[in-house]
Amino acid sequence: MSSLLINADMGESFGPWVMGMDEHVMPHVDLANVACGFHASDPHVIRRTVRLAKAHEVRVGAHPSYPDLVGFGRRSLACSPAEVEDLLLYQLGALAGICRAEATDIHYVKPHGALYNDMIRDPELFAAVVKAVKDFDPGLPLMTMAACDTSTQQEIADNLGIRLWFEAFADRAYDNQGRLVSRQTPGAVHEDPQIILEQAIKIARGEPLTSIDGQPITLKADTLCVHGDNNESIAAIQSIREALLALRPPHD
């Protein structure tokens, strides 16, 4: 990618229970990470989200997870690499069926929650995720965390012929290794829109961030994740969008 694209988690409602503000967020993002039913969503929500993305010319990405509806996919499960590979293929197939019905496609894969974090710590798990993507469609990029050292993940992806998109977060705190601070730690999630905007601009410019322990860290990112579950978040997304558009090359 030639510029930093904005992505957001979408389609995370379930039945009558509403999560997020997808209709308000979708016009301001480039990539929609659509939940595939294992941590959130249901077939109707998935289809509605795909339609919404298509209407706004936003690229659809698969957002698979551990099978953990109750824990919203944020709990690590004791799944083997082989099980994780099959779990991803199952969820990618479900989303692909709905995309096909709506005359669109899956454009990338971004694992969710605990699976996203676990695969960074476990090379065998990461390889299983990469292999699932390759078996499903070797042309799909895999979105993963833009830590300070991503050499292990890059080597695995290169060996299997899968492209990686590295992702940073505007509203999350980082540790000294450039990994996300646990949500259970005070200060892990930024709530001040100005701080979120400033962090987004630094990431886009390739400037150092300050870790939660006060150390400078630099993240090389292809895409920026934003969250839009309240009016303040929507306002921050609009500001980030305007700032990133101003930084993009004229041909983008």
Under 8 Å CB-to-CB from 26, ≥6 apart: which residues? 8, 10, 32, 52, 53, 55, 56, 58
Give the pLDDT confidence of 4-46 residue by residue, as tens digits. Answer: 999 999 999 999 999 999 999 999 999 999 999 999 999 999 9
Cα-flanking dihedrals φ and ψ of residue 47, to 5°?
A: -65, -40
CA distances from 233 to 7, 53, 100, 128, 169 (A): 14, 19, 31, 34, 13
Q: Summarize the confidence of residues 225-242 as an average pLDDT.
A: 80
Quick one: DSSP state of residue 71? Answer: T
CA distances from 246 to 35, 69, 205 (A): 30, 39, 12
Q: How far apart are CA 78 and CA 111, in angstroms?
A: 16
Instruction: Specify whether domain 5-170+222-229 bears CATH 3.40.1280.10.
Output: no
CA distances from 24 to 82, 225, 237, 242 (A): 38, 16, 10, 15
Would you state the pLDDT for residue 228? 73
Angle at 132 between CA 131 and CA 133, to 5 degrees: 90
Q: Summarize the confidence of residues 198-212 as an average pLDDT.
A: 93
Could you state, in order of their start, the residue ranges of all structural domains in the chain? Answer: 5-170+222-229
Residue 63 · residue 32 · CB < 8 Å: no
Identify any residues that bridge with 210 across adjacent strands, giving them in sequence order. Answer: 216
Q: How far apart are CA 150 and CA 172, in angstroms?
A: 19
Q: Is the pTM of this model over 0.75?
A: yes
Identify any residues that bridge with 9 across adjacent strands, giving them in sequence order. Answer: 33
Going by pLDDT thresholds of 50, 70 and 90, the confidence category of residue 251 is low
Give the pLDDT confidence of 163-177 residue by residue, as tens digits. Answer: 999 999 998 999 999
